[in-house]
Amino acid sequence: MIFALNRLGIEPALTSNPTELLAADKIILPGVGHALTAMNALKAKGLDKLIPQLKQPVLGICLGQQLMCRFSEEGNVPCLGIFDVEVKLFPATEKVPHMGWNEVKHNETGLYANLKSNERFYHVHSYYVPVIPATTGVCEYILPFSASMQKGNFFAVQYHPEKSGKAGEKVLESFLMGN
C-alpha cells in the first residue's frame, strides 16, 4: 500500500497513535489478516472506539472493509459497527478464497467518479459482505457481494486497489484527492 501511495506522490504516515489519527486529513485502514486478531489489536489501543467517531474520510481495504462491519464470522467477533451488516464466510460451492481479477459493477460516482462501470479489480478473500443499502459496487463470486460501500465519510472496498492496476490507482486518487 505504501508503494501505491508513493506512486501517487503521497508520503503516508504509518501510525496507530490516536492523536495522530485525529489530526490526519485522511485515513486508510488496510487489511490483510484475521478479523479476530485485528479487532484485538484495535481494542488494545482503544481504536475500536475511536475509528467509528472519526470525521475525516476513512477508507477500509479488504480486511479493513470487513472490520468496519458490525460482526465477522471470521473469529466470531464484534467489529467496528460502522456498517450494520455481518461478514460471512463464502459457501464452499466454489474454490475459496476468492482470488483474482473480477468485474465490479458500480454507479460511476464517489470512489468510481473517474471509472466506467464493470472495471476489473484484484480480490483475495474468503469472507464477504452481503449487498446492503450502503453498497456502492457489486462483484459476483459464488453470489453477489459488496465490493465497495460508503456511509458518510466512511468508504470501504473488498478488493485491493494497490494491486488493481490503473483502475485501483484511480480509486485511490478519488479517495485521496476528491473526498
- DSSP sequence for 105-125: EE-S-GGGTTS-TTEEEEEEE
Q: Is the dihedral of CA 157, 161, 164, 168 positive or negative?
A: positive
Single out the catalytic residue among 62, 69, 79, 139: 62
pLDDT in tens, 6-38: 566 677 778 899 999 999 999 999 877 899 999
**Does the structure show a pLDDT above 80 at 3?**
no
Question: What residues does each domain of the chain span?
Answer: 2-178
pLDDT in tens, 119-173: 999 999 999 999 999 999 999 999 999 999 999 999 999 999 988 989 988 998 8
Single out the catalytic residue among 123, 160, 169, 173: 160
CA pair distance 67, 129, nearest whole angstrom:
10
Catalytic residue status for 160: yes
Position 109 confidence tier, pLDDT thresholds 50, 70, 90: confident
Cβ-contact 65, 59 below 8 angstroms = no
Per-residue pLDDT at 165: 86
**Does the structure show a pLDDT above 70 at 179?**
no
Q: What is the mean pLDDT of residues 71-76?
A: 97
Position 70 confidence tier, pLDDT thresholds 50, 70, 90: very high
14, 35, 80, 146 from 39: Cα distances, Å: 18, 6, 8, 21
Instruction: Quickly count: other Cβ atoms within 10 Å of residue 161's Cβ.
Output: 26
Q: Options 3.40.190.10, 2.30.130.10, 3.40.50.880, 1.10.760.10; which CATH number does 2-178 get?
A: 3.40.50.880
CA pair distance 164, 147, nearest whole angstrom:
13
Single out the catalytic residue among 125, 162, 169, 173: 162
pTM: 0.93
CA pair distance 42, 121, nearest whole angstrom:
28
Catalytic residue status for 162: yes
Per-residue pLDDT at 4: 60
Catalytic residue status for 62: yes
